[in-house]
Amino acid sequence: MNKGILTAAVLMGLGEIAHVFMGGPEVHIPMAQEVTDPYLNAFVPIIWHAITVVLAVLTAGLFWLAFNPNRPLEAVFAAIQFGFAALFLYYGVPEFGTAVFPQWILFTLVPVLTFFAMRRAERLA
């Protein structure tokens, strides 16, 4: 078992819990109320819940990775997370002049932690 990757999995799980229980009332519900076109409004829950699914897969995958080292899978997870981090920065900083969305921290921290934890385990093996 890789404790560093297990920690990353717990962090991602906490991120998903925040997404569901904090993000729903703060973002999902207001977005659904703001989009008045019925066709476009149908996409709001689809996109929101698609992100929920991706976060669940990342969380479960990181838990699996903690017990089953797999560099290609780690790279896929890292690409998804770095992509999310880049989106939060790309759209948040120009609009607000600062990194107003803290999600970029989680999506940067988790893959970096996973990378170093996996490399450390490889060195110790």
Give the pLDDT confidence score for residue 100 in this predicted structure: 83
Query: At residue 15, does pLDDT exceed 90?
Result: yes
- pLDDT for 64 equals 98
Rounded-to-integer distance, Cα 3 and Cα 107, Å:
19
Positive or negative CA dihedral for 33, 52, 117, 88?
negative
Digit-coded pLDDT (tens) for 38-81: 999 999 999 999 999 999 999 999 999 999 999 999 999 999 99
Mean pLDDT of 93-102: 83
Query: What is the mean pLDDT of the segment spanning 87-100?
Result: 87
User: 3-class secondary structure for 29-88?
Assistant: HHHHHHCCCHHHHHHHHHHHHHHHHHHHHHHHHHHHHHHCCCHHHHHHHHHHHHHHHHHH
Q: Using the 8-state DSSP alphabet, how is residue 2 labeled?
A: -
Select the more confidently predicted residue: 100 or 90: 90
pTM: 0.91
pLDDT-derived band at 5 (thresholds 50, 70, 90) equals very high
pLDDT band at 101 (very low <50, low <70, confident <90, very high): confident
